[in-house]
Homo-oligomer: A and B are copies of this chain.
């Protein structure tokens, strides 16, 4: 396959390059694209330096598959051009996710939604992917009625500048000086901010609203009641989620553990007595979605579970899932 990566110099772009190699994705050629600011930089691909080019309408000639991870504006402009030029686009931005004709896919969950795609496929939001990876296998056994999720999201979700800001501010605070926020509206070092993306009139942030809408679309559960509070935390990589899930029929902890033990891409780490549970420092760099602290929700003894879900937001939350979509398209002959 002739591949293009738009946003190749970003955190997710670099993970895409790594993961394509690690998984031996059938790459014939790879075109690294980015903004004019990054054009001319060199990135290593299989040990060889490759020059980053500025994304232009001509960038997609001869490209079979294009991975986009350069933000909504870039996707809005270039994704239709890439698709028109004949590439199958796997887009990591929110731009096309809720379009009814665009598949929004987590390959372990709804690979069949890729069938009959129109060359634009959306990669879901990081927080949504890791949650549905755990909820969907349970939902298949006992349909979900209501989900409450509160997130603890790392700064890498914002990008490299945010990771740098966390380091800088942390140093400043440790030196006893006052930190100045640039990327975030308030200090993020040793602090938390319940603000991710813009706010809607209903009081939810766009990030929270993505979790509501994307979860319903991926799981084909349009009526699922779901609410989220999304919070940025001073962690570099790895998103964590506290989830309370109500099911139609009783879901015991034992049943949930058995189901999740079989779920592809999910790993149960759950023995809190010996401090075994997922946490972001340990999850970063790994491909699995980790789940622990699974217990019967005492506020809903007839059918609820509480649990704790952690994953690397740059890998399964973004680059890995996108590559898996590409693999599924190839396997099924849909590309």
Query: In the bound complex, do residue A298 and residue B212 qualify as a contact, i.e. CB atoms below 8 Å apart?
Result: yes
As for how many copies of this chain the complex holds, the number is 2
Decide if B192 touches A240 in the complex (CB within 8 Å). yes
- A residues contacting the other copy or chain, number (CB 8 A): 58
Complex contact A242–B229 (CB within 8 A): yes
Distance A326 CA – B187 CA, assembled complex (angstroms): 36
Verify if A295 is at the interface (C-beta below 8 Å from B): yes
Check A277 against B194 for contact (C-beta < 8 Å). Answer: yes
Chain B hits for A233, CB < 8 A = 152, 192, 233-234
Mark A177-193 against chain B: 1 for CB-CB distance below 8 A, else 0: 00000000111001111
Q: How far is the CA of A293 from the CA of B196 in the complex (A)?
A: 12
Residues of B within 8 A of A229 (CB): 150, 242, 244, 293, 306, 308
Please give me the residue from chain B that is nearest to A308 by CB atom: B194
Interface: A205 (CB within 8 A): yes
Smallest distance from the beta carbon of A213 to chain B beta carbons, Å?
10
Chain B residues contacting A150 (CB-CB under 8 Å) are 150, 229, 242
In the complex, what residues of B have CB within 8 A of residue A244's CB? 148, 227, 229
Q: Tell me the residues in window 287-322 of chain A with beta carbons closer than 8 Å to chain B beta carbons.
A: 292-300, 304, 306, 308
Q: Given A203-B253, A227-B298, are A174 and B167 neighbors across the interface (CB < 8 Å)? A: yes
Rounded to whole angstroms, the CA-CA distance of A225 and B298 in the bound complex is: 7
| Nearest B residue (CB) for A234 | B234
The verdict on A170 contacting chain B, using a C-beta distance below 8 Å, is yes
- Kindly report which residue of chain B lies nearest to residue A295, judged by CB atoms: B203
Q: Which of A235-255 contact B (CB under 8 A)?
A: 235-236, 240, 242, 244, 253
B152→A203 contact, CB < 8 A: no
> When chains A and B are docked, how far (Å) is the Cα of A233 from the Cα of B282?
15
The answer to whether B146 touches A300, judged by C-beta atoms less than 8 angstroms apart, is: yes
- Tell me the complex Cα distance, A308–B196, Å: 14
B279 touches A235 (CB 8 A): no
The residue from B212, B231, B282 contacting A186, defined by CB atoms under 8 A apart:
B282
Measured CB to CB, the closest approach of chain B to A219, in angstroms, equals 15
> Does A28 interact with chain B (Cβ within 8 Å)?
no
Apart from A227-B306, A229-B242, A229-B293, 7 more pairs, CB < 8 Å: A190-B234, A190-B236, A203-B253, A204-B295, A229-B306, A229-B308, A233-B234
Selected A-B contacts with CB under 8 Å, 28 pairs? A146-B300, A147-B299, A148-B148, A150-B229, A170-B170, A171-B174, A187-B281, A190-B281, A192-B240, A193-B279, A194-B240, A194-B242, A194-B277, A195-B272, A202-B295, A203-B272, A203-B293, A203-B295, A203-B296, A203-B306, A205-B272, A225-B298, A225-B299, A226-B299, A227-B297, A227-B304, A227-B306, A233-B233
